[in-house]
Structure 1
Amino acid sequence: MATTAPPADADPPECPVCLSPFDATSAVPRVLPCGHSLCGPCIGALPPASAAAAGSSLRCPLCCQCVPFSRALGPSSLPKNLALLALLPSSPPSPSHTITATAPAPLPLPLHASHSRLLSRFRHAVLPESASPLRSAPTPACLASGSLDSDLGAPWFCARGSPVSLLPIETRPGEGRPPAEQEAEFYRPSHAARVLAAIGALSDAAMEELAGLIASSARLARRVCRVYGVWMDPDAPPLWMVSERHPRSFSQLLEEEMVAQIGFVVMEACEVIMRLHGEGLALGCLGLDCFCLDSFGHCLLDFSRVLALCRGVRAGVSSYSIGALIAPEVVAVLGDTLRMKNHDFDGFFGCSSDIWSLGCLLVSLLTRDERLVAGWNSEGSYDDWEKKVGTRLNASLLGTQLEPLAAIIVSCLSYDPKGRPEIADVWKCVRGLLMKSGDVTLAPDDDFAVQKSFRCLLLGELSSMFAESSAVESDGKAQLSRGAEDSSSNQDDVSNGGCRNDRALDLSGIDDPESAGMFKSATLIAHRDCVTGLAIGGGFLFSSSYDKTINVWSLQDFSHVQCLKGHEHKITTIVVVDNENHSLCISGDSGSGIFVWRIDSTLKEEPLNKWYEHNDWLYRGVICLAVSGTGYLYSGSRDKSIKAWSLEDYSLRCTMTGHKSTVSCLAVASGILYSGSWDGTIRSWWLTDHTPLSVLEDDIAGSIAPVLSISTEANFVVSSYENGYFKIWKNDVLVKSEKLQNGAIYAVKLSGKWFYSGGWDKIIKIQELLEDESEVELRDVASITCDTIITSILSWDERLIVGQFNRDIKVYYKAQ
């Protein structure tokens, strides 16, 4: 019967034994087989009915009946009294069970993300929202700095407080977050989905470039600052590229007098550029701030600072003012508007352009004069500038162990790209001078450059972003802004949401899962008590309920078609047989009745057939049903057995036993019947001869809990439990076990790669099942907050249909 809220001044229901008020944690009302409800601690303390059955029975203190009870499984093996729990006061909330007393905030997830295709490529590049590295509110075009707000595990392995640089990635307005007027009240976009949406909004070239930088930084570990991945502020775009940051830059070396130390740094800078060229990547421009030194004094290239410098150059800022070292041939291309518009760069760039920039950087380090190399394209000829640089460089290195290095560095500044040496030659020269040895067997391969085509970072899509706002000039000098250092922390703005009743069902244009639009919900109201099952067949939606009726709904507009009556007890389960010969709706009730209804245009109110299982009245009740393609109907009951019925003459063909408690759920897949029970196990049976196949159980101590729901797809079996856990079995091998919700999970559905779950927590979680050769993962995709307990879930035609404890049926869908 329907549950109504008690008066505000009414006493809460209490246990008839200890007189303690029932609650949802320590004194959960459990239903004994005789029908009386006691709290869990009292049930566990009751003496056995007899010495002979000390471990398998007890005597009800109210009616004195001897009832079965497994001491090994404990009170948790008995069902909760949901009607009594619904009468519990919701205010003030219990500190230990706040989630059931208040409307829970939805997980930060959207409904059905359409960017799953990007996940395989960027799975380990999306930083969690908890990282929250942004410590300031910089101008969108500027390089920001901050630190990680939480520890990051695999694959990043970064400690909380690690300094990072953040480079904005330009996204179109509204990308990564739907407009406020389009956000449904029952869900909130997730961090991961918003990041993937922003990545998907990039051009193909920008996406390729971003993925390439992340991958290259991982391969060039300890040569470049690691690009951890991308992150987005929970409040607004842009997308940020987050990378490792070291505060000590090359500019600080200008103040040091140790030529030997600068020589080792020069050698490492050469190695960095060689490794980049080995990746097929040319920079196009360099600056002293593009390199930094780690805590051990080793040289690293910072991709974030390189891109920030490139954006300044592309925005038209004077290279002299921002310290950008750009080869003459690159400057010529940048000045050719037609060539830049057509992206006609073939044959103009290669590793020689970076050799020129590196040569200028080495001159700045060795002469300690940044302005010397910055004026090559000012007044005077290039030859005069080259001679001036050579003279200064020779004077600076005179009498030092690096004196012979001057000649090869000057040759790096040759106007003709073909006249410049290879970077490997510079490396060999520096190493030979520092090591006092002619052995260069450790030199990198200097023939790789001719084997690869190069992509230039300066001319890429990431460098052309924020072109208008990058040119920030003040008093003739451009500034590359940096965020304040760790001055404040971000607070996540998590807004609560709940299901919205939207009865206007505009279903046009929702069949395309990739189509843009808003998410809506509709409420189907006809039942007078808890919805216990949903099924689709013959062009109709069928719903069963404790009110002893089956309601039929049109799948065209979800209008109510008919109410089927006939059951004398609460309907607990429903299935549909939909084949070429006939379509049948089959329902089971708590009085062991099984009713068969024909599905046709007439939808007759009288059942086609009905019968009752023959079992003891204490154990009567059909809990679950399943149908196989071999012409059998399977019923699971409180008598711990599974019965196989022929759909031809509705006769009992077989009884399968093995479970030690109520059979709570059934599922059929790939010629196998799976059965779940309150004894915490899942058993599999051959459909051909109904013989037992195997038992799926978790060997971990303390992990036994009643199985409440099973769903199958291909070679996967997913099960949910009363303790909030779910388990995934692949080929009958447990591959994942994880706590998903705080309360019982009454309904799970695996449809393709989508995994739906809901239960006591009043939250529907939608996740994507990801499978590779070594592991199975679940990625959060959607979350919906409901007003009441979820009892059944059905996915059909891009719609999510949900049965609820408060008698409502919710339909969630995407409308344009």
Structure 2
Amino acid sequence: MEPPECPVCLQSYDGECTIPRVLTCGHTACESCLLNLPQKFPLTIRCPACTVLVKYPPQGPTFLPKNIDLLRLIDPASPKPLKNPKNFENVLEFDFIPRTWSNEFYTFWKQYVLPKDSVLFEAKAEEDCGFRFGCLRENQSQRVSVVKLGSLCDDDDSVFKYSYLMRVMNCLSGMIVEVRDQLDLILRTASRQIKCCRVLGLWGDMEDGFLCLVCERLNEIERLDFLRNGDGLCNDGLSSFAMMGMEICEALISLNKQGFTAGCLGFSCFSFDNFGNLYVDLNDILVMGRRVTKSVAKVGCVGSRICDKEVGLFLSDFLESNVFFSPEVLYELFKKEGIWVECEESEFSVGYGSDVWPVACILLSLLIGEQFTKELIDYIRCVSTKASDDNIACLGMYMAWMEKVTYLLENKFGSEFVSLQLMFCQCLNFDPGCRPLLTNVWKCIRELIIKPEFDKMIRFDGPVNLENENHCLVLGELSCLPKERLETEDKDELLGAENSDGADIDQARAAGGVKDLVNGLSKGNVKFKDLQGHRDCVTGLAVGGGFLFSSSFDKSIHVWSLKDFSHVHTFKGHDHKVMAVVYVDEDQPLCISGDSGGGIFVWSFSFPLGHEPLKKWNEEKDWRYSGIHALTTSGRYLYTGSGDRTIKAWSLLDGTLSCTMSGHKSAVSTLAVCNGVLYSGSRDGTIRLWSLSDHSLLTVLEEDSSGAVSSVLSLTAVQHTLVVSHESGSIKVWRNDKFMKSMQTHKGSVFAVFLEGKWLFTGGWDKTVSVQELAGDEFEEDVIPTGAIPCGSVITALLYWQGKLFVGCADRTVKVYYYGK
């Protein structure tokens, strides 16, 4: 026979090193392991065998009795085992509540989501391609630019209203992978120390229904106007040009190092901070790409062919607005829209060299002035007009234009800057592979102010790897205008259709769980039904035997069929307001109700249903306190929470009082049973935990010596999670006996909470059922606000059962929400 061993460290008991100690639940563990058990509540631990919360002596495990019977089984001749204790935390596994999305998805994207009211738009600000300006609400001196990315889910016609965070997450998860990957790269890139305007994060514009990218807006680019005048620069302005040109190159180099190609640039893509440092604006690049894409779509339809003449006319229109892009980017834009271009130069691919062309155009505009743009437009129009003439070659026209550009540079600066002139000619090469690197452009411009012999120590760390994959912002999916808000579904299928009938319930789908309920609510696929019949506020809900039981201040308990929600029966007999109701599923099913006068009524559930209770009794009356406030059952006991500040245990066999648990200083408002522990909440603001084995007090939570009291109105306990609601509107969560989180999700008292799996339903004075998702582990708790259901009346009771959410309201109705076809 195997010798008995400790269930934690798996070492055999020996009475010396591994001493068996008996817990009050009856299970045994060795003394050393009990000493290392986490003691999260004072004077209590959880049994490693049954996980029941049990009393623990303050002196330690040595004051627990030894298990003499196990010690007798030990063979005295057997060798003593070597002690190899294991960490209890690594042995005991706790349940994990999964999330709607993967852990990584939610954790990554949540850090970039800005609060709901973060952005204020400028008055009378015009919107251009989903591009608007505003400021931060908390710091109105911080100007921002906002670019629309995608449509948020539209739930205007649904009774279920997704929370702000959920609408943002749904939009992100619904994006095609390419769009989300590019957005991911932009957010991660902008968080690094590079010369681009800081991306503040993602923001949901709830008014317009769009997800937006928010970027800081620095000083306007008009500060370049003193350089970009009609005549260009004189020799005295070369140092200013060199500083500006170097910073433009540095901004694009830093962007290229992160794997991005702008593809299209204009003066508006650059801005300055308060110290005159230049930054590239990613939002402006995306919007510029949208303007170009929008114009491309107007040139021709999908599948059509256009010639050089049409391309030239299109390009010249943008050049007049000082928007520059290389030829290969232009041809790729047409291909992206399904328009075929009849040109040999369209064979070149877009890469890091595609940014060299627009950078060179911007620098030449600064040097030469408006004459450079005019000459470029004249050249393009001339080539477009003569493109049909076989005797005119595009290459020849291009060479003539480059000679004109060289002449303009020589005319302005003479032959002193030959290297600069050659560099610009190489930058404007049709073949991107023959263009110089931006680092070489930077070095050439730097020579205007620092001679090479004095600049030998300069070097670039981490040069751009031309073999790495690059993402062209102008050609990316984010440069496409987001689709308009999706139209709602046919109203005949929406929640609350007049011809909906309870008989239409799809039982198999309804049993799928709360996820179906939440998803169905948001899509308008959840129906609801008002169960009317009570003449006063609904106080309690219970389910059992295929029926729903609802108690009310009208001194009655109504019985409803769960098949078609029809009214089946009414239990009458109470002389006072019925405060709570429970269902007992034993050999003989019972419905038990308690009233404000202290009366406890047991109703038989044998058909035909009678009007007289099977038995009834009253707790001892005290004129200073008001009757029963809460009910729950466990095993052969019925537990009542009373206005006299006690919890009483009643025998379900004969109705005799078995035990009275005292300690609360005010009325006991709520009870729950889980894992061998009775939880009681009181208007004194505390939660007490009682052992079901001997009805002794285990510990007290929320005991505040400062005198600040917020009454406990409701609590729910499932597995290792305890959720408590307060009169102040706060909700507190414990997991594995450890306080995890406090939150304020309602604007008034929270009268009802219900936990099912990872979904938490809460409701109260603000007439709204809040749906939240619990996520996390023993180290961190996260409560994700999923959405809300406006009910039009104060919520007094909540219950979820097999795909159906039951809501008891103060307007005398029970509302049922369920997933339907």
TM > 0.5 fold call: yes
Residue 178 (structure 1) shift: 4.6
Residue 725 (structure 1) shift: 3.1
Q: Look up the SS of the partner of 1:658 in the other structure.
A: coil
Residues 620-642 of structure 1: CA deviation (Å, up to 9, x unaligned): 722212234x6654322223222
Show the counterpart of 2:134: 147
Show the counterpart of 1:249: 221
Task: Choose 1 or 2 for highest CA Rg.
Answer: 2
Worse-matched range after superposition: 768-777 or 516-525: 768-777
Q: Look up the SS of the partner of 2:349 in the other structure.
A: coil
Show the counterpart of 2:474: 458
Residues 177-235 of structure 1: CA deviation (Å, up to 9, x unaligned): 356xx455xx767655555565566544334434443443333565235254234362x
Worse-matched range after superposition: 582-591 or 427-436: 427-436
Q: Look up the SS of the partner of 1:254 in the other structure.
A: coil
RMSD: 4.1
Show the counterpart of 1:275: 254
Structure 2 contact 162–787 (Cα < 8 Å) conserved: no
Gaps of 5+ in 2: 1-98, 300-313, 341-345, 384-393, 485-494, 511-515
Structure 1 contact 770–779 (Cα < 8 Å) conserved: no
Residues 126-156 of structure 1: CA deviation (Å, up to 9, x unaligned): 55246342533746x53543323722xxxxx
Question: In structure 2, do the counterparts of structure 1 residues 279 and 795 end up closer, same or farther at CA, with 3 Å as the change threshold?
Answer: farther
Question: In structure 2, do the counterparts of structure 1 residues 283 and 146 end up closer, same or farther at CA, with 3 Å as the change threshold?
Answer: closer
Give, as a single letter, the amino acid of the residue that structure 1 aligns with 2:439: A
Give, as a single letter, the amino acid of the residue that structure 1 aligns with 2:552: S
Identity of aligned residues (%): 36
Structure 1 contact 502–523 (Cα < 8 Å) conserved: no
| 2:460 corresponds to 1:443 | yes
Structure 2 contact 576–595 (Cα < 8 Å) conserved: yes
Give, as a single letter, the amino acid of the residue that structure 2 aligns with 1:136: K
Residue 245 (structure 1) shift: 2.3
Give, as a single letter, the amino acid of the residue that structure 2 aligns with 1:627: T
Show the counterpart of 1:623: 629
Question: In structure 2, do the counterparts of structure 1 residues 143 and 613 end up closer, same or farther at CA, with 3 Å as the change threshold?
Answer: closer
Show the counterpart of 1:413: 428
Supply the distance in 1 between the matched residues of 2:817 and 2:802 (Cα, whole angstroms).
11
Structure 2 contact 257–464 (Cα < 8 Å) conserved: no
Show the counterpart of 2:785: 779
Show the counterpart of 1:573: 580
Structure 1 contact 519–815 (Cα < 8 Å) conserved: yes
Show the counterpart of 2:555: 548
Show the counterpart of 1:561: 568
Which of 761, 765, 768 is the aligned partner of 1:760?
Answer: 765
Show the counterpart of 2:191: 218
Residue 303 (structure 1) shift: 2.1
Supply the distance in 2 between the matched residues of 1:350 and 1:598 (Cα, whole angstroms).
80
Supply the distance in 2 between the matched residues of 1:439 and 1:699 (Cα, whole angstroms).
70
Residues 722-759 of structure 1: CA deviation (Å, up to 9, x unaligned): 23333333444444434554543222223344433333
Q: Look up the SS of the partner of 2:684 in the other structure.
A: coil
Q: Look up the SS of the partner of 1:216 in the other structure.
A: helix
Q: Look up the SS of the partner of 1:148 in the other structure.
A: strand
Show the counterpart of 2:318: 322
| 2:728 corresponds to 1:723 | yes
Question: In structure 2, do the counterparts of structure 1 residues 337 and 143 end up closer, same or farther at CA, with 3 Å as the change threshold?
Answer: closer
| 2:689 corresponds to 1:684 | yes
Supply the distance in 1 between the matched residues of 2:589 and 2:414 (Cα, whole angstroms).
96
Question: In structure 2, do the counterparts of structure 1 residues 394 and 563 end up closer, same or farther at CA, with 3 Å as the change threshold?
Answer: farther
Supply the distance in 2 between the matched residues of 1:586 and 1:347 (Cα, whole angstroms).
81
Supply the distance in 2 between the matched residues of 1:220 and 1:346 (Cα, whole angstroms).
36
Structure 2 contact 125–133 (Cα < 8 Å) conserved: no
Give, as a single letter, the amino acid of the residue that structure 2 aligns with 1:267: M
Show the counterpart of 2:806: 801
Residue 783 (structure 1) shift: 4.4
| 2:272 corresponds to 1:293 | yes
Supply the distance in 2 between the matched residues of 1:409 and 1:126 (Cα, whole angstroms).
43
| 2:119 corresponds to 1:177 | no
Residue 321 (structure 1) shift: 1.9
Which of 119, 142, 145 is the aligned partner of 1:162?
Answer: 142
Structure 2 contact 118–136 (Cα < 8 Å) conserved: yes
Which of 590, 594, 607 is the aligned partner of 1:588?
Answer: 594
Residues 267-304 of structure 1: CA deviation (Å, up to 9, x unaligned): 33333323323332222222222222223222222222
1:650-661 aligned within 5 A = 653-661=658-666
Question: In structure 2, do the counterparts of structure 1 residues 439 and 622 end up closer, same or farther at CA, with 3 Å as the change threshold?
Answer: farther
Worse-matched range after superposition: 356-365 or 383-392: 383-392
1:47-86 aligned within 5 A = none
Structure 2 contact 195–250 (Cα < 8 Å) conserved: no
Give, as a single letter, the amino acid of the residue that structure 2 aligns with 1:368: G
Structure 1 contact 325–374 (Cα < 8 Å) conserved: no
Residue 125 (structure 1) shift: 2.9
1:20-31 aligned within 5 A = none
Give, as a single letter, the amino acid of the residue that structure 2 aligns with 1:421: P
Question: In structure 2, do the counterparts of structure 1 residues 338 and 500 end up closer, same or farther at CA, with 3 Å as the change threshold?
Answer: closer
Q: Look up the SS of the partner of 2:476 in the other structure.
A: coil
Supply the distance in 2 between the matched residues of 1:685 and 1:427 (Cα, whole angstroms).
75
Give, as a single letter, the amino acid of the residue that structure 2 aligns with 1:744: S
Supply the distance in 2 between the matched residues of 1:441 and 1:774 (Cα, whole angstroms).
48
1:175-574 aligned within 5 A = 176-178=153-155, 182-183=157-158, 202-219=175-192, 223-226=196-199, 228-232=201-205, 234=207, 236-237=208-209, 240-249=212-221, 251-252=224-225, 253-255=227-229, 258-314=237-293, 315-316=295-296, 318-323=314-319, 324-336=323-335, 348-369=349-370, 371=373, 379=383, 380-381=394-395, 382-393=398-409, 404-430=419-445, 434=449, 437-438=454-455, 440=457, 443-450=460-467, 452-465=468-481, 504-505=500-501, 507-508=504-505, 511=510, 512-513=516-517, 514-515=519-520, 516-517=523-524, 521-574=528-581
Residue 528 (structure 1) shift: 2.7
Supply the distance in 2 between the matched residues of 1:116 and 1:271 (Cα, whole angstroms).
38
Supply the distance in 1 between the matched residues of 2:108 and 2:348 (Cα, whole angstroms).
30
Question: In structure 2, do the counterparts of structure 1 residues 328 and 456 end up closer, same or farther at CA, with 3 Å as the change threshold?
Answer: same
Residue 784 (structure 1) shift: 1.0
Structure 2 contact 774–782 (Cα < 8 Å) conserved: yes
Question: In structure 2, do the counterparts of structure 1 residues 347 and 708 end up closer, same or farther at CA, with 3 Å as the change threshold?
Answer: farther
Structure 1 contact 503–522 (Cα < 8 Å) conserved: no
Residue 705 (structure 1) shift: 1.9
Residue 662 (structure 1) shift: 1.9
Worse-matched range after superposition: 705-714 or 757-766: 757-766
Residue 688 (structure 1) shift: 4.4
Aligned residues: 650
Give, as a single letter, the amino acid of the residue that structure 2 aligns with 1:254: R
Residues 765-815 of structure 1: CA deviation (Å, up to 9, x unaligned): 34444548656345362141424x322122345543222234222234566
Structure 2 contact 690–699 (Cα < 8 Å) conserved: yes
Residue 672 (structure 1) shift: 3.2
Gaps of 5+ in 1: 1-112, 152-158, 469-498
Question: In structure 2, do the counterparts of structure 1 residues 362 and 784 end up closer, same or farther at CA, with 3 Å as the change threshold?
Answer: same
Show the counterpart of 1:491: none
Supply the distance in 2 between the matched residues of 1:540 and 1:734 (Cα, whole angstroms).
36
Q: TM-score, normalised by structure 1?
A: 0.69
Structure 1 contact 767–778 (Cα < 8 Å) conserved: yes
Structure 1 contact 719–727 (Cα < 8 Å) conserved: yes
Residue 534 (structure 1) shift: 0.7
Structure 2 contact 760–773 (Cα < 8 Å) conserved: yes
Supply the distance in 1 between the matched residues of 2:447 and 2:704 (Cα, whole angstroms).
63
Structure 1 contact 246–294 (Cα < 8 Å) conserved: yes
Q: Look up the SS of the partner of 2:700 in the other structure.
A: strand
Question: In structure 2, do the counterparts of structure 1 residues 639 and 699 end up closer, same or farther at CA, with 3 Å as the change threshold?
Answer: closer
Supply the distance in 2 between the matched residues of 1:374 and 1:544 (Cα, whole angstroms).
82
Give, as a single letter, the amino acid of the residue that structure 1 aligns with 2:196: R
Residues 597-621 of structure 1: CA deviation (Å, up to 9, x unaligned): 4556655555455444457565572
